[in-house]
Chains A and B, each alone.
Chain A
Amino acid sequence: NAGVTQTPKFQVLKTGQSMTLQCAQDMNHNSMYWYRQDPGMGLRLIYYSASEGTTDKGEVPNGYNVSRLNKREFSLRLESAAPSQTSVYFCASSEWDRVVYEQYFGPGTRLTVT
């Protein structure tokens, strides 16, 4: 099992460019998430998908769009990148373990917008 995989690992964009971050999981989880990590701020939820076909906004959704392509894949799109979107992006997936949703994280994508 690869767990949660993310591509690319690193990316540099110019202001105004667009790109899509890809995420896939092989654990057959229903729920998937996108976070951004900034120094001193922990992880903040951008969007999540409770199940295939549904998506919901998190704490910081502005400037992003998501697509739950199928049960395995959940992509994050920046339509017009801004320097404020320079961050490390993490994808996660989770399943109900009868008590709580436990999240599993990918290795991250480090994005720089110049």
Chain B
Amino acid sequence: AQSVTQLGSHVSVSEGALVLLRCNYSSSVPPYLFWYVQYPNQGLQLLLKYTTGATLVKGINGFEAEFKKSETSFHLTKPSAHMSDAAEYFCAVSFGSARQLTFGSGTQLTVLP
């Protein structure tokens, strides 16, 4: 069965610093990978997704993620954090034509002034 692990339930960075949120997956078949963001008291919004092709994926709000098959990872990065990036971030995986998503447990990002 597939699974998703997000390392670090809480990450704090200073405004302007690099954001790195970690996601690893386990799967016996090629995955489709997603990052979602959840602002306080809101639903989830898609940041970016990897399906096929280029392994470096660019998303909204300056975020990007790189699919590394050898490391079974899909870490989310942003070069310079803004206060508005404070939110919870979820990594998720699906496979083939499956409709279901499997979510990681989430990482709460705090941006310090």
Q: How far apart are the CA atoms of A70 and B30 in the complex, in Å?
A: 34
Contact B99 A101 (CB under 8 A): yes
Q: Is A99 an interface residue (CB 8 A)?
A: yes
Is the contact region of chain B dominated by helix, strand, or loop, or is it mixed?
Answer: loop
Q: Does A48 contact B (CB under 8 A)?
A: yes
A105 contact set on B, CB distance < 8 A: 36, 43-45
A-B contact count (CB 8 A): 58
Interface residues of A, count at CB 8 A: 26
Say yes or no: is A103 at the interface (Cβ < 8 Å to chain B). Answer: yes
On chain B, the number of residues with a Cβ less than 8 Å from chain A's Cβ atoms is 25
Q: Does B18 touch A at the CB level, under 8 Å?
A: no
Nearest-neighbor residue (CB-CB) of B44 within chain A: A105
List the A residue with the shortest CB-CB distance to B105. A42
List 6 A-B pairs, minimum CB-CB distance, nearest first.
Answer: A42-B103, A105-B43, A105-B44, A99-B51, A43-B103, A42-B105
